[in-house]
């Protein structure tokens, strides 16, 4: 049985989120072995003693658990209500692509305005998905 099209972008974003999650221990262990951080630097989350290159993967991961919750909800609702069509699936893939771009900017050169553009565009796409669902349910 093939997975319905609207679920594939959700699975792709879950995969990306798990990949970013793996970066956290990689950066923390490397920094710990170099003596740049101590275990107590994470006693209450990340302290100010944690260098940015160690903190950014965690922040990128947190970003993938915030607004994307609304993406997962709308994707599942589109699936359950059987209102997912090619437009919804295309929008879902666009959202995933923009979230990946946002993460890549954050994890590499971290230009705030570029990151903001990807974030804003992804939220606009997310809004369109919710409007599409609402119109499908009302119509």
- Which H or E element spans position 5? none
Does 1 reside within a domain? no
- Size of the chain in residues: 139
Mean pLDDT lowest among 1-5, 67-71, 76-80, 127-131: 1-5
Task: Using pLDDT thresholds of 50, 70 and 90, give the confidence band for residue 1.
Answer: very low
The number of C-alpha atoms within 13 Å of 94 and in the hemisphere containing its C-beta is 16
Does 97 reside within a domain? yes
Global pTM value: 0.93
CATH code of 103's domain: 1.20.120.550
Question: What residue numbers bound the domain in which 76 lies?
Answer: 7-138
Q: How many domains does the chain divide into? A: 1
Average per-residue pLDDT for the chain = 94
Q: Express each pLDDT in 26-82 by its tens digit.
A: 999 999 999 999 999 888 888 889 999 999 999 999 999 999 999 999 999 999 999
Residue 108 has pLDDT above 60, yes or no: yes
Does 35 reside within a domain? yes
pLDDT of residue 46: 83
Does 2 reside within a domain? no
Among 65, 61, 95, smallest CA distance to 78 is for: 95
pLDDT of residue 3: 56
pLDDT of residue 123: 98
Does 44 reside within a domain? yes
Does 42 reside within a domain? yes
Backbone angles phi and psi of 84, in degrees to 5: -75, 125
Does 82 reside within a domain? yes
Dist. CA 134–CA 29, nearest whole Å: 46
Spatial neighbors of 86 by CB under 8 A, at least 6 apart, are 5
Does 122 reside within a domain? yes
Mean pLDDT lowest among 43-47, 83-87, 89-93, 123-127: 43-47
Mean pLDDT of 95-106: 98
């Amino acid at each position: 049985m093939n997975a319905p099209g609207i679920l594939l972008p959700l699975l792709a974003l879950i995969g990306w989120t798990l990949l970013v999650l793996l970066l956290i221990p990689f950066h923390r262990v490397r920094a710990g072995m170099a003596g740049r951080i101590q275990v107590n630097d994470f006693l209450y989350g990340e302290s100010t003693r944690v260098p940015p290159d160690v903190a950014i993967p965690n922040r990128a991961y947190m970003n993938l658990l915030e607004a994307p919750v609304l993406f997962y909800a709308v994707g599942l609702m589109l699936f359950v209500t059987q209102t997912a069509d090619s437009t919804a699936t295309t929008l879902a893939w666009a959202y995933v692509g923009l979230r990946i771009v946002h993460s890549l900017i954050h994890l590499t050169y971290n230009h705030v305005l570029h990151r903001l553009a990807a974030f804003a565009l992804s939220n606009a796409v997310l809004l369109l998905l919710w409007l599409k669902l609402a119109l499908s349910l009302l119509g």
